[in-house]
Amino acid sequence: MTGHTAGRTAPGGQAASPAPRCPACRGTGSEPWARARDVEYRTTDEEFGYHRCLRCGALFIDPMPVDRLSEIYPANYYAYASEEQSFVHRVKDRLDSLRLRRTLSRLSGDDLRILDVGGGDGRQLDVIRALDPRVTFTQVVDLDPEAQARAVERGHRYFCGRVEEFSTDERFDLILLINLIEHVSDPGGVLDRLRRHLTPQGSILIKTPNTDSLDARLFRHRNWGGYHCPRHWVLFDRHNLTGLAAERGLAVRAFAYTQGAPFWGVSLLAAAARRGWVRVSAERPMTRHPLFPPLAAAFAGFDLLRTTLGGRPSQMFVELVPVPVPDSSDASP
């Protein structure tokens, strides 16, 4: 048996919920949305089900493979790969640095402290230190011991484990959740936890897939790259992401759509592989296929052009700041 349905058991041994609860808003009403496989890394032949919450519209995987992290994040996962091996990471760093420069410019002081959740071997923090010499302390939270060794060599502090387990007395001027919030089982809880680690001027910068996009609709039933199945557990659009933030005491300082070229590339290569036009294997992830770089480059340009014309590509940036708590002493008697 492959896949799972309500009341049955998925191949990994986890039972799908008869009425799965939305990880974003905790609502229990949902509808089946799509089924997908791991077309990028081929860590399993299983089929996974995605649901759409009827209350907030978030997409989520059920059951979540929360106890299978070492299986679904293989050693050749792109976030752990070296810079020479990872085309997708080089492109991401170059484009994301434009947004990071604007975010850093809003911070005051000569001693900035940055936390990168899901930061792998610290490459993104290297970019930040190059952008702003005021950055004096950098912390990574991620899962991979080999990435830990490289991050420490680069001068970053490292916590090897899930963000839900991370605890520190440090306070940060900027917390990065770059393609991270979709990987956690309780995104609202993670925002709560990280908000408490901000300095008074601090902000949280999120980059995450946008389900309200052209490619998300075109490839909904064809292993859309934005599912990153089975590693993306909760997926948002602008409305439900900013709504979740508001519920957790966070206000939007800035919002922007950005290119989702990797999702186009994976979606198209998966479609070609189904027809036997290209060959993919677990040894060579789809993002290292020779056709991936030209596809990603072409669709990065396509998406960026669409953005200037008011389109909504399949990734979005949102910068969040804590909502000030009213001073009760200022209240009228």
Q: Is 198 helix (H, G, I), strand (E, B) or coil?
A: strand
> Is the torsion defined by CA of 167, 21, 234, 240 positive or negative?
negative
Q: What is the pLDDT of residues 256-315, one digit of tens each?
A: 999 999 999 999 999 999 999 988 877 788 888 999 999 998 999 999 899 999 999 999
As a whole number of angstroms, the distance between CA 220 and CA 178 comes to 23
pLDDT at 165: 93
What pLDDT score was predicted for residue 94?
Answer: 72
Is 14 a residue whose pLDDT tops 70?
no
Map residue 80 onto helix, strand or coil: helix
* For residue 243, pLDDT beyond 80: yes
Tell me what pLDDT residue 15 has: 57
pLDDT for res 149: 93
> Does the pLDDT at position 331 exceed 60?
no
pLDDT over threshold 80, residue 84 = no
Measured CA to CA, the distance from residue 4 to residue 9 in angstroms comes to 6
Q: So what's the pLDDT on residue 11?
A: 42
Residue 234 CA to residue 247 CA, distance in Å, equals: 17
DSSP H stretches of helix in the chain: 69-72, 87-105, 123-131, 145-153, 187-195, 214-218, 238-247, 261-274, 292-308
Instruction: For residue 2, name the pLDDT band (cuts at 50, 70, 90).
Output: very low
Residue 80: both structure tokens together: 């752990």
Report pLDDT for 13.
Answer: 46
Q: What span, in angstroms and rounded, lies between the C-alpha atoms of 103 and 4?
A: 42
**Which domains occur in the chain, in start order?**
30-258+317-322 (3.40.50.150)
pLDDT of 325: 67
